[in-house]
Amino acid sequence: MKIYARNCWVYYINNKLESEFIIGQDTYKFGIEGRDSPPNSFRLGYDIKQKFIKINFKQEVGFRHKLSYGLSTQEYNLMPGSLQPLGEESTIAPQTTSIENALESAIYIADDVEISDKLNVNLGLRYVLYNYLGPGNLRIYEEGSSPSPNTLIREETFENFENLHTHHGPEFRFGMRYMINNSSSLKVGYNTSRQFLQILTNNTAIAPTDIWKLSDNNIAPQWGDQISLGYYKNLKKNTFELSSEVYYRTMKNLLDYRSGAVLLLNDQVEQDILNTEGKSYGFELMFKKNTGKLNGWVSYFYSRSLLRTAQDETAEIINNGDWYPNNFDQPHNLTFMGNYELSKRVNTSLSFTYNTGRPITLPVAKFEYAGSERIYFSERNAYRIPDYYRLDLSINIEGNHKVKKLAHSSWSLGVYNVLGRQNPFSVFFTPVNGALQGYQLSIFARPIPFITYNFRI
């Protein structure tokens, strides 16, 4: 469940200076319930809150010259996991991981200049300060070694709102647009970014078991460095649009887990993770028709997202130090969206989506060792779950178009997943009668009709 609450106030100081004040809170909650047997029934929950304040200014400083500047602060409140018994017969022991808090503050300035009728340049600089806050324990490990019970030197306890650790540094942005002619343009972009909220995912579990972790003294913030190039063209007086873009991104301080890691409800998760570096690249092609009774768009996106164990990691090397797909690597993505206007009040829509299946690590063999049967798994993410595709149909019926009426209404009727495709949400394994059995979980695996009534005053 996601909840967004925010307010925005805009004040025009004069005809060249505009101010904006934004305050709000974003909340993300997620829960899993297990009811297979009353003694083992449980509820597993997560909770993330982000409170923020932003003050922005936009100023015209000259002909074709605009400045944007401001500051922001954001508070993170993170509960990584809570396990509770479900029902009176449950024997599950309650367990809760430590709450994490942090404060991210930043100041920025951006300069937008139209150098000529054809050339526009945008420059940006943001400096960010991140404080990992108490209450909590700060674990200190031997310098130059990976965190583990054997390298732990000491723990330090901090009270509420005490500063446990600090990260800070600049982020840069550069953008340029060049108008080749009245119907086509070329764009170049470069940016760097830091991210302090990180995620670990186990894609072989029956249900999502994403683990969130804030950066601290043992886990550095993620760092990304990206460059992109795009070409855009309008055809036949904006009836059609053609766009293409390529990008390349390098990343460091990413997280992956060690073999046999325990991620859920782990207060010392830094002992089960590996420092990883990444790269991603790809291109996107899109063709869009804006006008006429038949309109819509089709796009194709090819992208790769790869990881490898960082060179300074000493705990474990995944896949012999070679690049391997991360959990979200889906090279091929094809999307089609079409609309046809039957009349001024009735139109139909068809959408089709195709994605390459996500990577997965599979058991590939079994062997006897020390008098017991063991399972041998493939290299990390060496296989993929089946590809995903889905077709949806709908018809939209609007009310009459009278201007003076109490409310404007419309109906939408359709079918989700017309083909009844059993797209796998996850593939997982569990022992059954002494043998490891694989299962595939699909959600909304049948055609689902829907009807929606909308109105606005």
**Cβ distance 269 to 277 under 8 Å?**
no
Q: Is 96 exposed, middle or buried (0-12, 13-18, 19+ CB in 10 A)?
A: middle
| Reported pTM | 0.88
> Considering Cα of 312, then 315, then 319, then 323, what sign does the dihedral take?
negative
Buried b (16+ CB within 10 A) or exposed e, 174-202: ebebeeeeeeebebebebebbebbbebbb
Average pLDDT over residues 168-175: 97
Length of the chain: 457
Higher pLDDT, 261 or 189: 189
3-state secondary structure at position 269:
helix
Q: Which among 384, 389, 449, 394 has a CA at the least distance from the CA of 422?
A: 389
| 402 confidence band (pLDDT: 50, 70, 90) | low
Q: What is the structure's pLDDT at 84?
A: 86
Terminal CA-to-CA distance of the chain, rounded, Å? 28
Which residues lie below 8 Å from residue 230, measured CB to CB, with a gap of 6+? 186, 187, 188, 189, 243, 244, 245, 246
- 3-state SS record for 208-223: CCCEEEECCCCCCCEE
**Cβ distance 264 to 97 under 8 Å?**
no
Q: What is the structure's pLDDT at 444?
A: 82
Q: What is the structure's pLDDT at 124?
A: 97
Tell how far CA 11 is from the center of its chain: 33
**Cβ distance 323 to 306 under 8 Å?**
yes
Rounded to whole angstroms, the Cα distance separating 8 from 56 reads 11
Tally of CB atoms within 10 A around 98: 12
Q: What is the structure's pLDDT at 162?
A: 93
pLDDT in tens, 49-81: 999 999 999 999 988 899 999 999 999 999 877
Look up residue 49 and give its amino acid.
K
pLDDT in tens, 83-117: 888 888 888 888 888 899 999 999 999 999 999 99
Tell how far CA 276 is from the center of its chain: 18
The fraction of the chain above a pLDDT of 70, given in percent, is 96
3-state secondary structure at position 319:
helix
Q: What is the structure's pLDDT at 424?
A: 86
Which residues lie below 8 Å from residue 60, measured CB to CB, with a gap of 6+? 16, 17, 66
Fold classification of 2-121+169-329 (topology level): Maltoporin; Chain A (2.40.170)
| 372 confidence band (pLDDT: 50, 70, 90) | confident
Which run of H or E residues covers position 385?
none
Give yes or no for residue 206 having a pLDDT over 60. Answer: no
Give yes or no for residue 205 having a pLDDT over 60. Answer: no
Rounded to whole angstroms, the Cα distance separating 342 from 293 reads 8
pLDDT in tens, 126-139: 999 999 999 988 99
Average pLDDT of the residues of the chain: 89
Structure token pair of residue 154? 């000491």
How far is CA 326 from each of CA 144, 227, 245, rounded to the nearest angstrom? 26, 20, 22
Higher pLDDT, 257 or 264: 257
Q: What is the structure's pLDDT at 447?
A: 93
